Structure 1
Amino acid sequence: MPPRPDGPEEVTISGDDDVVRVRQLVRVYAQRAKLSLVDQTKLVTAASELARNTLVYGGGGTALVEEVDDGRRTGVRASFRDEGPGIPDLTLALADGWSSGKGLGLGLSGARRLVDHFELDTEVGRGTVVTVVKWKR
């Protein structure tokens, strides 16, 4: 999925205001990609949860948002990267209904259900990268 010519935008996540900025940026990209209102809301909700996780559990990090095109369809990709402690129990973290209670209550599994593509790379002591994509229908 190569980025579209508009190019990606990166936001540093180091406080609550940055979580809001990520949410707003994702909405702009979702509108630009002409996602339906329902799909915009799903993507923005997932991105908000992931940005909050980046801040709370990863100690801050970055979000990279871009339009993507796979030759058949267009969409929006958002990647969240931190250099925090990593996720020690990935099975638990991805379990349906599990949440630490500090985010929106969605947990990673909830965010995963809201998007079309969900990829998580984590290692204890190295940090976490979560990438999501929502495609235009």
Structure 2
Amino acid sequence: MLPLGTINMECELVDPDELMNQLRTLKSVNVDGVMVDCWWGIVEANVPQQYNWSGYKMLFQMVHSLKLKLQVVMSFHECGGNVGDDVYIPLPQWIIEIGRKNPDIFFTDREGRRNHECLTWGIDKERVLRGRTAVEVCHSLQF
């Protein structure tokens, strides 16, 4: 697994030269591939259906150039924000704004506490995300 902070909030590789060195080292010891989280909070950060894949494309090209396998995990939750975390990737800003007006988009426990790190399954079929359901948002990420 590549470090969580490999791609920054502007969807740029944090240190491409060092990453390439690390990938070469992995390749030299017969590692056949790597895994990376692809963060919704980075790719569709500010405006619905405006996607920025630049850092991920660069990463994918680097991995491909070394003939390594790549597993990409689409991460639709917040990263970090807890004690000891050194990386923080929030949900997209436009989702946070919707949540301020409609906190029911977030998981809520029996005590009424909301978890703002991820969306509730209750909106999988509800068009509360600027005309889209949560499932549609997940399926509409365009590379």
TM-score normalised by L of structure 2: 0.28
Structure with a larger share of its residues in strand: 1
Which one scores higher on RCO, CA 8 angstroms, separation ≥ 6? Answer: 1
- Which structure has the greater CA radius of gyration? 2
